[in-house]
Amino acid sequence: MLESIGNPDDLKKLAAERLPQLADEIREFLVSEVSRTGGHLGPNLGVVELSIALHRVFDSPNDPIVFDTGHQSYVHKILTGRRDFSKLRRQGGLSGYPSRAESEHDFVENSHASTALSYADGMAKAHQLRGRSDRTVVAVIGDGALTGGMAWEALNNIAGGRNRRLVIVVNDNGRSYSPTIGGVADHLATLRMTQGYEQVLDLAKSAINRAPVVGPPIYDALHGLKKGLKDAIQPQIMFEDLGLKYLGPIDGHDEQAVEHALRRARDFGGPVIVHCLTSKGKGYAPAENHEEDQFHAPGAFDVETGEQQAKPGLKWTSVFSEEMVKLGGEREDLVAITAAMLHPTGLAPFADAYPERTYDVGIAEQHAATSAAGLAMGGMHPVIAVYSTFLNRCFDQVLLDVALHRQGVTFCLDRAGVTGDDGPSHNGMWDLSLLQIVPNLALAVPRDAARLRELLREAVAVDDGPTVLRYPKGPVVEQIDAVEHAGSMDVLRRSAREEADTPAAADDAARSDLLLVAVGAMAQTCCEVADRLADQGIGVTVIDPRWVKPLDPALLDEAARHRVVAVVEDNGRVGAVGDAVARTLRDADIDIPVRTFGIAQEFLDHAKRDAILADMGLSPQHLARKLIGIVSHHTEEESRTDEPAQ
């Protein structure tokens, strides 16, 4: 049956009694395809019936459907004609999120949470202004995303547009990655437990039927009826007091019930919340039984057992996780903060060991940063573990709430640099640029596991300003030991330059050709480049600054001993470490050319990290070829300058 669905119109033609079979086929398809590529399986197994109902009731793309977050859009993709999942999240294949380049049915490339309601508010206003009274905007938001402050800013504005056609579908499975926490979660939990008037009345009737004509059971039944009715009505007040019509809770796996509710919401003519209860991982036992995250985003796995293919090597996240537990045992003032990502950021072991010192604030990075400042003011040292791309969301708080007040807060940025698979919104390629402009902030970039451990310890020892530690996704590179030290920096390679038979040879004996500044995980690449250049007779020094903000003054002395300085980093080139190095040399009146090798300032399509770095010219072979040309050019320029006048 699935093969007969090429677009939503095909879906609308199906008889209602055939939809359960279609749902089964979609689940089978998802499990089979995602088992080969990895991807967000659990969230999509939970929205099969809901997605079917959405496309049977609404007319996409005339009725825009916006997903928050976009990882629950796989079924939407299938129903809108995109069934080739063979390269899901791989170069040239489907994105793991909605993609405007893929389909007219995708409006928002939404993989950062709590934003869909704002998009929907704007679309509904535009439809109203342009007289499109026949169009309805639909926002599908997970309960986890409702913990974000931006969602409530949007609700506050949506409530003011009583005549705007906007349907908010709350896909409530009680989880983001892990169980959703906080007051909003508690409120939704209360709603989940409310089964409506019918079940309350059935309970009362059952008690009465079993009871004598008079007696305590009658009073117990009446008391239960009164309490049940109160529970059925009272929890809706929060939404309805905002001026939002509320429908629910509805079994999100009963396609006909969801359709009925969505049609009522569509025809209401104003903003409506439809509260659907779903189960993450629905229909696939290994996902349903996976306690940590219900197969939120597994790698490739065995369909029969659910066993995931283990990836070799120690992970950066694991190194951070282990060191945090050790530090927690040494320092009672150390606290950990996560924004709904306890397991992905590696804080779960710390939470197990020190639950009273672990805070999950939900998808609320802004609150996390300022709350951390308050904790620091109270004498604690908070460590906020967050993906690099999500730090963008709380830049103002880092700048004015933490740094301005010189509070000792440590931000640990996982998935920094190129992450690849999840596409443009998840590449952590902005932090080195954003954080360079923050006063009082120190920024460290470890090159290997040993440096991650030591730099984390150095970072949490700072109590008069914020510190930041950033590290990439995936396995840790092989340990690279320093051959010597320059101030706080590590010298990883130092090769002598072959003597050149030029008039300046004697004066240049103490100068080398190239100072290669290796930022973090790019150190291994830089060492490979240095070895290639040394084979060509080029003198190269590779330095790992360790702390890239502020830069160690010893860098000036090292730079002065070289003809050219090159900086290699996996961040956007504008305003990052390369620019900081160039500015530092200019300020010291050191006239040495500086070249920066980093990521172009563009949104990168999804692909593997290595492939993206190669495309950006950050492979050892490409860098070596480029640097040989640069060094040769400057050597020739110096030679011409030193030639005697004719």
- Specify binding-site residues: 71, 111-113, 143-145, 173, 284, 365
Are 444 and 320 spatial neighbours (Cβ–Cβ below 8 Å)?
no
Determine which helix (DSSP H) or strand (DSSP E) holds 412, and give its type and residue range. strand 410-414
Residue stretches of the annotated binding site for Mg(2+) = 143, 173
Phi–psi pair at 67, nearest 5 degrees: -100, 140
CA distance 417 to 170: 33
State the catalytic residue, choosing from 365, 458, 558, 569: 365
For 1, 58, 75, 385, 495, the CA distances from 10, given in Å and listed in that order, are 11, 13, 15, 45, 68
The burial of 454, by beta-carbon neighbours within 10 Å (0-12 exposed, 13-18 middle, 19 or more buried), is given as middle
Active-site annotation holds for 365 = yes
The conformation of residue 58, written as its DSSP 8-state character, comes to S
Task: Find the catalytic residue in 90, 245, 266, 393.
Answer: 393
Beta strands 166-172 and 272-277: pairing type? parallel
492 to each of 481, 482, 528, 530, 531, how far by Cα in Å? 7, 5, 11, 10, 11
H or E element: which one contains 125?
A: helix 116-129
Q: Which residues are annotated as a binding site for thiamine diphosphate?
A: 71, 111-113, 144-145, 173, 284, 365
> What's the chain's Rg over C-alpha atoms?
29
The full 3-state SS of 15-33, as one line of letters, equals CHHHHHHHHHHHHHHHHHH
Residue 280 a catalytic site member: yes
Whether 393 is a known active-site residue: answer: yes
Q: Rounded to 5 degrees, what angle do the CA atoms 183, 170, 175 make?
A: 55
The count of C-alpha atoms lying within 13 angstroms of the C-alpha of 441, restricted to the half-sphere facing its C-beta, is: 25
Task: Give 212's contacts (C-beta < 8 A, 6+ positions apart).
Answer: none
- Please give the positions annotated as active site: 280, 365, 393
